[in-house]
A = this chain, B = another copy of it.
Amino acid sequence: MDFSLTPAQTDLQERTRRFIADEVIPMENDPRQDAHGPSEALRNDLVARARAHGLLTPHASKEHGGLGLSHVDKAIVFEEAGYSPLGPVALNIHAPDEGNIHLMEEVATPAQKARWLQPLIDGHIRSCFCMTEPPPGAGSDPSMMQTLAVQDGDHYVITGRKWFITGATGAGFAIVMARMEDGRATMFLADMDQPAIVIERQIDAMDSCFTGGHGVVRFDGLRVPADDVLGAVGEGFRYAQVRLAPARLTHCMRWLGQARRAHEVASDYARQRQAFGQPLVEHEGVGFMLADNEMDLHTARLAIWHCAWVLDQGGKGRHESSMAKVMCSEAEWRVVDRSVQILGASGVSGESIVARIFKDMRAFRVYDGPSEVHRWSMAKRIARG
């Protein structure tokens, strides 16, 4: 049993922390962002800074120019990056690109990697992941997928509608998941600048931390050559799992950073703000909330580290990543909610960064499997004994 970081991990942690403090936090009020997220221009600016600091796309393999981080390494770096809402954008480790990179490193062909993966890792383009559908399609239950891929010679013709497609607007390419006529699902790669891909509209999401926001995307008989199938035909649901277990863990990591930020902002405020004759923090009603924050942050960090270690050992981490997703999304949320409460008026407005974290984070309990779906999966494992 060993909870210590290696010197290399400590070094990377400190470098990332400094980068976020020096280069990213000063840009948090940059005007090049709106209700849908940071603009491409702001993103490019941030990415250039991370590149200059050798911190861009650190989770990619060394072969492709990344730092080849293990899951535990990622836990350490991504938490630091998450300390600013703009940090994951800067390091190119945000959803959905982070998970797409991971998946493509596993299953893409060399030609696919050269064409799509490399510029993605280099931060030159963005990608999106087209799986979720509006009712009555595939939401929490992927088996309800309605988007259809019909084979036509050496092409597939994709028809359907997806929504909440993060980063669709402005993305260079998409991974599209569609159901085959035999019920299995397949993933396809497709450039976004095709007439058969229509971004119908931007969704008015509560969060604003993803470049490109979240779009509704329609596939109007998109023709995809068989060469652009990602991995094997019919393996879409399995790949979604390959992508999801680690991808949801990286959400836990990034949001841990933001929860820690909220806690530190609230702690600073509580030390300075007077009320009823003493600093807020000396009121037990406030101090106990901050103590609970520290315990929730501790819980989240330990659950992440443990699951990351399981994945590094080669485990699939189904149970561990479900537990980590629920524990982190709920514990980190409680931290942010308490921080809002302590900050009072500043917490519910742009006067502090915490209101933004609050709005950004709420969806975390929903995406990549809502808490209820993960509890259900755990319960099914328990039922089997």
Q: Does A347 sit within 8 A of B, measured CB to CB?
A: yes
Question: Quick check: which of A57-65, A119-127, A147-155, A354-362 contacts chain B, the rest being far away?
Answer: A354-362
CB distance from A293 to the nearest CB of B (A): 9
Which of the 9-residue segments A16-24, A240-248, A371-379 touches chain B? A371-379
Supposing A288-B379, A290-B382, A383-B282 touch, asked if A163 and B345 sit within 8 A by C-beta, the answer is yes
Copies assembled: 4
Q: Among residues 259 to 298 in chain A, which have CB atoms less than 8 Å away from a CB atom of chain B? A: 267-268, 270-276, 279, 281-288, 290-292, 294-295, 298
* Contact residues in B for A199 (Cβ distance below 8 Å): none
Contact indicator A340/B327 (Cβ below 8 Å):
no
Note all chain B residues with C-beta closer than 8 A to A372: 283, 285-286, 288, 341
- Given A273-B135, A323-B298, A340-B362, verify A284-B284 contact (CB < 8 Å): yes
Report the nearest B residue to A268, measured CB to CB: B385
List residues of chain B with CB within 8 A of the CB of A365: 341
Interface residues of A in 332-385 (CB under 8 A from B): 340-341, 344-345, 347-351, 355, 358-359, 362-363, 365-367, 370-372, 374-376, 378-380, 382-383, 385
A107 in the interface (beta carbon within 8 A): no
Tell me whether B362 and A344 are in contact (CB under 8 A).
no
Contact yes or no, A135 B375, CB < 8 A: no
Tell me if A72 counts as interface (CB < 8 A to partner B). Answer: yes
Contact of A382 among B206, B294, B344 (CB under 8 A): B294
Docked complex Cα distance between A375 and B295 (Å): 10
What per-residue 1/0 map shows which CB atoms of A140-172 lie under 8 Å from chain B? 110010000000000000000001100000000
Pick the contact of A379: B284, B344, B375 (CB < 8 A).
B284
Contact of A362 among B136, B273, B306, B348 (CB under 8 A): B348
Interface string of A204-223 (1 = CB under 8 A from B): 11110000001000000000
A183 to B18, CA, bound (A): 47
Complex CA distance for A223 and B291, rounded to whole angstroms: 44
A238 to chain B, nearest CB (A): 19
Q: With an 8 A cutoff between CB atoms, is A1 at the interface?
A: yes
- Smallest CB-CB separation from A73: which chain B residue? B1
Contact B305 A345 (CB under 8 A): no
